[in-house]
Structure 1
Amino acid sequence: MAAPKPQAVVVGGSIAGLSCAHALISAGWRVTVFEKSASPPDGSPTGAGLGLDPQSLRLLSQWISDPHLLQDVTFPLSIDLNRLTDSGTKASRTLTRDEDFDFRAAHWADLHSILLRTLPPDTVLWGHQFLSFEVSDGRSSVVTNARVLRTDEIIGIASDLVVAADGCLSSIRRRLFPDSKLRYSGYYAWRGILDFSGKENDGMILSIRQSYPDLGNCLYFDLALSTHCVLYELKGHRLNWLWYINGPEPEHKESSLTVKVSDSMIEMMHEEADKIWVPELARVMKATKEPFINIIYDSDPLPKLFRDNVVLVGDAAHPTTPHGLRSTNMSIQDAAALGCCLEKWGWENLSSALEEYQSIRLPVISKQVLHARKLGRIKQGLALNCGSTFDPTTARQEECLQLQQRNMPYFEGVPITSDITLPSKQIGS
């Protein structure tokens, strides 16, 4: 008679949580995911674009078995391009161009959908709001409690491990590490996705393609004085953009990283876009339905990634600014490393597995979080630790090179186990 499989409860059904479900199931665990949302996302055109690095794409293709699913929902980002925009003349010039970038762009909802539908049925319990966990006296198990939002019933599941994948505002992280606080970056971002389906030959789309000729294969960064903007194309006739603006921390609900915007706020944003950016980019911003504001936070690296039978992954473990395209990639790589360690050590040696996971991931994510923080301050013209600021209008070529994504620590690939680094091989190559 086969021994029963160990059980894990994953708190959070976003990409980090679903990635952990895949990795742990591959390692021989039974997995239940608690997610407070009532149902899966519907693929709405609003939301977030993301960039997947070659190693994350390789890991994803191992879990979902059919790499064509990833090809079908992603566009290549072969070029990392930083440009200077002269707000007076509305002219642009290249600061640095890396044609060996090798990422792929995806919409968050598209990637989430693939991860979800390739899991066993009923892995995710929708409409289950995490409440608390209690580790047994002998640390042999942990009970996770959740409220079933449809009935208001409280349920508890006993498991061998709890995986906290509950995001930047993680209540589990606050319990394990109460001194860890989110840190406001000094700027926020307007963001949106323009769906131009059926309007591919519209004058606005033709003009943005003329101004940004590598769309569909390029990650564009436009820099002006003390601000910058990101633009890239997603599958499904969509343009993803973000505009970072220095300023005091906006007022918002403590339970959210976004700000409710009014029509007047959107109108003011449009007016400022006309002043700062090339007309083609400003037109895209004006045509975008329901743009919103994200407040940009990160957190100083944690001293540990687990306590007892509870381990942190994804943004719960390492809130980070978005400038190094790290958040999703770190989440996927966290999941892979955790799965490998659990399979290697077996649930009977859970503490050793978690120690190895921590030893592999903590040095990597600590350096990547701090580098993303620095890169954001460089592009926003904010003072660095040395007191200097970056001015794109006067920067020398060697100074501009620090804008490139490949300066991210472990850019070529991170260790997934203590003795193996997966090659950074792109799917379909």
Structure 2
Amino acid sequence: MADEKHKPKAVIVGGSIAGISSAHTLIKAGWEVQVLEKSPSPPTACSTGAGLGLDPLSQRLLQSWLSHPELLLQSTSPLTTEQNRAIDGESKRGRILSYDENLNFRAALWTDLHSLLYNELPPDIFLWGHLFLSLSISDDKTSVRIKAKVVETDEIVEIVGDLLVAADGCLSSIRQTFLPDFKLRYSGYCAWRGVFDYSENENSETVINVHKAYPEISKSVYFDFASGTHFLLFEIPKKKINWLWYVNQPELQLKARSMTMKVNEEILRKLHEQVDEIWVPEFAKVVRETKDPFINAIYDCDPLEQLVWDNVVLVGEAAHPTTPHCARSTNMAILDAAVLGKCLQKWGAQGLKSALIEYQSLRLPVVSAQVLHSRRAGRIKQGLTLPDCEPFDPNVATSIQNFPELQIRNIPFIDDVPQVIDLA
């Protein structure tokens, strides 16, 4: 239990899924919470990262934070199967390499999940439009002072807390404070991404044909492979189809503080030509009719050696930037928040140092293994070289027996529930 004489205060920098998940678990642990977010208001629409898959553990944790747990089921849809297929270059027909009927994920819209969590929190804990600038830890290591700029007015404000939770994403400024030489690692490929919205034209030829070509799309995630490239495809709520197409290419020159890039008409024209050459026509038509697709450069980093510095702790992508191949980013962030909250509750405000040490000891081995596994899976899927095996060639593959990384079920620690979390 928290010390009743002094209710400890945590400042969370970042109001995305990692940040608001941490707000839930810290409040439950008896902490006062303040969330700083540079965006001017809660998100209402988001194309970047619009579709995501929630694993069974995340589903149970999220439901435990909601006053009406059934809302999670109502706002998501089942992803019960995973299919890996090879696409023949000439006939464009799909050949099944693996079929897993026990995925038990749920598909969600990023904004729906964010809203679900946000609406359960007191609105006055959020400081929207506040850009993190710097931090300083007190000499006795008992408090941390954060400077932020109010984006609308340029006013500089200071906030003091007992704990700083860095949930500021893969380009984390807080992480850079402690690791000034840190650099993200480019994977060697980018992803074309888009969300095809057919809610206003459910009976179009494109919609009918894609459901014929991918008959289980309402409950299945499809991975289609061609030489040196692959894509994933699954349906998300509100009659939308989420797709990502990975292409090997040199590193993009992106604008600062961004992993994505909008495309001009010339680049879009080349995309449409390429999709017709490589993929089944039903998927190609979906790509052609998707409004405002964008390019997402794929980065990760070698596992960090620590997640905690005095009374500063990293969660989410700030702690473990990862490639998206194993549906880990959001799921790792949710479990980070759950473990952090339970450790703080276990040790109390006076045991903050012990709580953070335990959090780090529980999470580092798991997230490190998962980041490296996802990296390896991405290289296999893209036909890139690995030191211990020949490149994956979907043209000759009859199964994925020699490449178990291609199935989500083989992620290390995927069913791991830390002892500190009681789901009874």
TM category (shorter chain) comes to over 0.9
Distance 2:253 2:182 in 1: 21
Matched residue, 1:15: 17
Letter aligned with residue 301 of structure 2? S
Question: What is the SS of the residue equivalent to 2:127?
Answer: strand
Query: Any idea what SS the aligned residue of 2:325 has?
Result: helix
**Cα distance 1:387–1:83, how it changes in 2: closer, same or farther (>3 A)?**
closer
Corresponding residue SS for 2:418: coil
Residue 318 (structure 2) aligns with: 316
Alignment of 1:352-371 (within 5 A): 352-371=354-373
Give 1:337's match in structure 2, choosing from 336, 339, 347: 339
> 1:286-342: CA deviations, max 9, x gaps?
100000000000000000001011000000000000000000000000000000000
2:306 to 304, 307, 315: 304
With over 3 angstroms needed to count, the CA separation of the structure-2 counterparts of 1:15 and 1:250, relative to structure 1, is same
Closer, same or farther in 2 for the Cα pair 1:180/1:341, shift >3 Å?
same
For 1:156, the equivalent position in structure 2 comes to: 158
Alignment match, 1:135: 137
Query: What number of residue pairs does the alignment pair up?
Result: 421
Q: What is the aligned counterpart of 1:99 among 98, 101, 107?
A: 101
Residue identity matched to 1:414: V
Aligned residues of 1:186 and 1:246 also touching (Cα < 8 A): yes
Partner of 2:413: 410
Q: Extract structure 1 runs of 4+ deviating beyond 6 A.
A: none
C-alpha distance in structure 2 between counterparts of 1:87 and 1:422, whole Å: 48
Deviation at 1:2, TM superposition (A): 4.3
Q: Which residue of 2 aligns with 1:202?
A: 204
Counterpart secondary structure, 1:187: strand
SS at match of 2:121: coil
Task: Give the structure 1 partner of residue 386 of structure 2.
Answer: 384
Residue 416 of structure 1 and its aligned partner are, at CA, apart by: 5.6
Check whether the contact 2:195–2:240 (CA below 8 A) recurs between aligned residues: yes
Q: 1:269 corresponds to which letter in structure 2? A: L
The CA deviation at 1:87 is 2.3
Q: Distance in 2 between matches of 1:336 and 1:201?
A: 42
Aligned twin of 1:88: 90
Tell me how far apart the structure 2 counterparts of residues 367 and 342 of structure 1 sit (CA, whole Å). 24
Residues 295, 288 of structure 1: alpha-carbon distance in 2 compared, 3 angstrom cutoff: same
Structure 1 residues 169-201: Cα deviation after superposition (integer angstroms, max 9, x where no partner): 001111112233200000000000011112111
Residue number among 79, 86, 111 corresponding to 2:81 in the alignment: 79
> C-alpha separation between the residues in 1 aligned to 2:48 and 2:159?
34
Q: Is the 8 A contact 1:12 1:35 kept in 2?
A: yes
1:63-78 equivalences under 5 Å are 63-78=65-80
The CA distance in 2 between the partners of 1:99 and 1:34, in whole Å, is 41
| Shift, 1:44, TM fit | 4.6
Q: Deviation at 1:40?
A: 1.2
TM alignment of 1:241-260, pairs within 5 A: 241-260=243-262
Amino acid of the structure 2 residue aligned with 1:192: G
Change (3 A) 1:416 1:192: farther
Asked if 2 retains the 8 angstrom alpha-carbon contact of 1:78 and 1:99, the reply is: yes
Q: Which amino acid aligns with 1:133?
A: L
Q: CA deviation at 1:411?
A: 1.8
The answer for unaligned runs of 5 or more in structure 2 is none
**How many angstroms does 1:396 deviate by?**
4.7
* Aligned amino acid, residue 13 of structure 2: V
> Per the alignment, do residues 44 and 136 of structure 1 end up closer, same or farther by CA in structure 2, a change over 3 Å counting?
closer
Q: Distance in 1 between matches of 2:123 and 2:295?
A: 35
Q: Secondary structure at the match of 1:163?
A: strand
Q: Secondary structure at the match of 1:34?
A: strand
Task: Return closer, same or farther for 1:274/1:380 CA change in 2, 3 Å cut-off.
Answer: same
> How far 1:65 sits from its partner (Å)?
2.3
Spell out, residue by residue over 1:100-136, the C-alpha distance to the aligned partner (whole angstroms, 9 max, x if none). 0000011111111111111012121100000111100
Q: Does 1:232 align with 2:237?
A: no
1:377 & 1:421 partners in 2: Cα distance? Answer: 36
Range 139-148 or range 251-260, more displaced: 251-260
Alignment of 1:351 with 2:364, yes or no, is no
CA distance in 2, matches of 1:421, 1:25: 17
Deviation at 1:58, TM superposition (A): 0.6
Deviation of 1:409 after TM superposition, in Å, equals: 0.2
Is this contact kept in 1: 2:87–2:394, CA < 8 A?
no
| Superposition deviation, residue 386 in structure 1 | 2.1
Query: In structure 2, what is the Cα distance between the partners aligned to 1:342 and 1:146?
Result: 25
In 2, Cα distance between equivalents of 1:94 and 1:294: 27
AA in 1 matched with 2:352: L
Distance of 1:416 and 1:297 partners within structure 2:
31
Residue type at the aligned position of 1:382: L
8 Å Cα contact 2:373-2:405 kept in structure 1? no
1:321 alignment partner AA = T
Q: Partner letter of residue 365 of structure 1?
A: V
Shift of 1:72: 1.7
The separation in 1 between residues aligned to 2:337 and 2:213, in whole angstroms, is 39
Q: Distance in 2 between matches of 1:202 and 1:414?
A: 44
TM-score, with structure 2 as normaliser: 0.97
The residue type equivalent to 1:294 in the other structure is N
User: What are the Cα deviations for residues 60-109 of structure 1, in whole angstroms up to 9, with x where unaligned?
Assistant: 11111212211122111100110111121111110100000000011111
Matched ranges for 1:267-306 at <5 A:
267-306=269-308
Task: Tell me if structure 2 keeps the 8 A contact 1:46–1:193.
Answer: no
- The residue number in structure 2 matching 1:426 is none
Q: Which 10-residue stretch deviates more, 369-378 or 39-48? A: 39-48
State how far apart, in whole Å, the 2-side matches of 1:26 and 1:254 are: 36
Decide whether the 8 Å contact of 2:405 with 2:411 is kept in 1.
Answer: no
Once the two structures are superposed, what CA deviation does each residue of 1:403-429 show, in whole Å capped at 9, x if it has no partner? 111110012233262xx5758xxxxxx
SS at match of 1:241: strand
Contiguous gaps of at least 5 residues in structure 1: 424-429
Amino acid paired to 2:213:
S
